Structure formats: C-alpha cells, structure tokens
Amino acid sequence: MKKGVRAYFVPAVVFLAVFFYLPFAILLLYSLTVPEEGFTLANYIDIFTSRFYLQVMGYSLLIAVLTTFFTLAMAYPVAYYIVFKAPQSVKPVIITLMIAPFWIDFLLRAYSIKVLIEPLGMREGFATLVYGMVYDFFPFMLLPLYAGMSSVPPSLLLSARVHGAGGLHILSRVLIPLTSSSILAGSLLVFLMSFTEFVIPALLGGVEGYTIGYAVYDLFFKYRDIYRGSALSIILSLGALLGAIMLSRRVKVVQKMLSE
C-alpha cells in the first residue's frame, strides 16, 4: 500500500514529461539548428549580435523594471495598511477589493484601460503601456507582500516604536528586512511576467508596443523563422530559470538569517 501511495506522483510527472519537457527538448533542438547546416550555435550568435534584438531586449527590460518598481511602490503600503492599519471592521472589504482584480481576465483589464484612455483623451504609447502593465500586475505584487506582512509579529513593530525608533527607521531596519523574501518573490514574479508580456504592449503600446515577447510571436507567426524563434525562447527561459534559482537562494539565506 505504502509503495502504491508513493507512486501517486506518476500521472503529474508523466503529463509534464510529455507536454512540458519533451516540447522543450524539441524547442532546444530547433534553437540549435539551421536548415542545411545542421547543429550550430548560429541562431544564438545572431540574436546576441543583432542590434535589433538587443535593443528590443533592453526596451523590454526597461518596461519590466518600471513595472516592478511601480507595482512594488504602490502595493507595499497597501499591504502594510491591510495588516497593521486597517480598522478591523473594514479589513475584509479592503482585502477583497484589493485582490478582486486578480480574478478579472487579464486581457479584459488591459482592454478596460483602452476604453478608459479614450474619454480621457490619452493616446496609446509608452506611458499608457506602463500604466496598463502596472494595472495588470498589481495583484501579483500585492498577494506575496500581504502574505509576508501577515507573518511579521506586530509586537516587533511595537517594541521598535517603544524604543523610540522613528517611522523611517522602523521601515528600513525592521519591516523591510522582515518582509524581504516576499519583496523578492513578488518582484521576481512581476518582473518575469512583465518582461515577456506582449498582450498589454500590443493592446496599449501602439507603435511603441514592440517588446521581446512580441518579437517571439513575430518570429513564429510573421517571419516563420522557428529556428531563431526557438533560440530566443530558450534565452528567455534560461534567464527566467536563473532568476528563480537566484531568488530561491536569496530567500533561503534570508529565512536562515531570520531564524537565527
């Protein structure tokens, strides 16, 4: 019986092996292929030496950094407010309202921005695009921050205050260190998603909406260049994996520091 239970992971693993890992292996294979030349790193070299792709990557990076910064700056005080400041009576309402957009279709939220800018007289472009990104990714930042903030013992803040620490001091010496792993988690999540996002830029960016995710889309659907498209996808994936691994190290280190 025990042996049987242990094997319960098999269906999930088989599903992922066939429909995630195998496709990825194929992607990897294509990325290393040039027709009539065989195996080569040429696709990767092309991308890394192409001004165009480097520029698009830099541009996407900028968008991702701005999005991460603004969502963090907006969500952090909100998380603090919900956990430590909100009157008990309205707390559930505020939590619900803050998190509700998470449940609204991603595309619809971007679309609602599109509807909004028309009567406001705004135009599609870089600013609208970043606005849409911040709008769409806000709940993904708030959730981990809220979870992290909830596990900060209020007594710590209180004792810091009793010892005469000022607001800024408490923030930088107590609150931020204690919530640093959720800050990192939320930021990485938002950063990774916004870096490769292409629906929002396409919808709200107008001619300024060309990001790296869009470039992948174009390589496959417009230029039908699956080889370079694969290489670009692999580059993005490895970058994301690397970021996640670094994050999990950092989070572990922080947790260790806190537990000592």
Partner 1 sequence: MCRRCSPSNLIWHSYILAVLVFLYAPIAVLILFSFNESKYMTHFTGFTLEWYARLVENLRILKALENSVSIALVSAVVSTLLGLLAAYSIRKAPYLSLKLDTLMVPPIVIPEVAEAVSLMMFFYMVGAEYGWLTVFIGHTAFNISYAYVTIKGQIHSISPNLEKIAQSLGAGPFAVFRRIIIPLLTPALTASFLVTFITSFSDFVKTVFTTGPGFETLPLYVWRVAVRGRATPELNALATLMILASLVISIYYTRKIITRLGESLPKQV
- Binding to partner 1 by residue 7, rule CB under 8 A? yes
Q: Please pick, from the candidates 20, 48, 52, 223, the single residue that binds partner 1 as defined by CB under 8 A.
A: 20
- Binding to partner 1 by residue 82, rule CB under 8 A? yes
Angle ∠(223,227,232) on CA atoms, nearest 5 = 90
Quote the CA–CA distance of 49 and 244 in Å, as a whole number. 26
- Binding to partner 1 by residue 78, rule CB under 8 A? yes
Tell me which DSSP letter residue 39 carries: E
Are 137 and 71 in contact, with CB atoms under 8 Å apart? yes
Quote the CA–CA distance of 133 and 198 in Å, as a whole number. 10
Q: Please pick, from the candidates 184, 203, 210, 254, the single residue that binds partner 1 as defined by CB under 8 A.
A: 203
Quote the CA–CA distance of 227 and 26 in Å, as a whole number. 11
- Binding to partner 1 by residue 95, rule CB under 8 A? yes
Q: Please pick, from the candidates 48, 55, 62, 85, the single residue that binds partner 1 as defined by CB under 8 A.
A: 85
Q: Please pick, from the candidates 59, 244, 250, 251, the single residue that binds partner 1 as defined by CB under 8 A.
A: 244
Give the ranges where 21-150 is alpha helix by DSSP (H): 22-31, 42-49, 51-80, 91-103, 106-120, 126-150
Distance, CA of 26 to chain centre? 26
Q: Per-residue string for binding with partner 1, 206-225, x by CB under 8 A? A: -------x--xx--x-----
Stretch that binds partner 1, among 35-43, 47-55, 153-161, 176-184 (CB under 8 A): 153-161
Q: Which amino acid is residue 214, in one-letter code?
A: Y
- Binding to partner 1 by residue 196, rule CB under 8 A? yes
Are 59 and 65 in contact, with CB atoms under 8 Å apart? no
- Binding to partner 1 by residue 246, rule CB under 8 A? no
- Binding to partner 1 by residue 94, rule CB under 8 A? yes
Q: Please pick, from the candidates 113, 133, 184, 190, the single residue that binds partner 1 as defined by CB under 8 A.
A: 113
Looking at beta carbons only, is 127 or 244 nearer to partner 1?
Answer: 244
- Binding to partner 1 by residue 26, rule CB under 8 A? yes
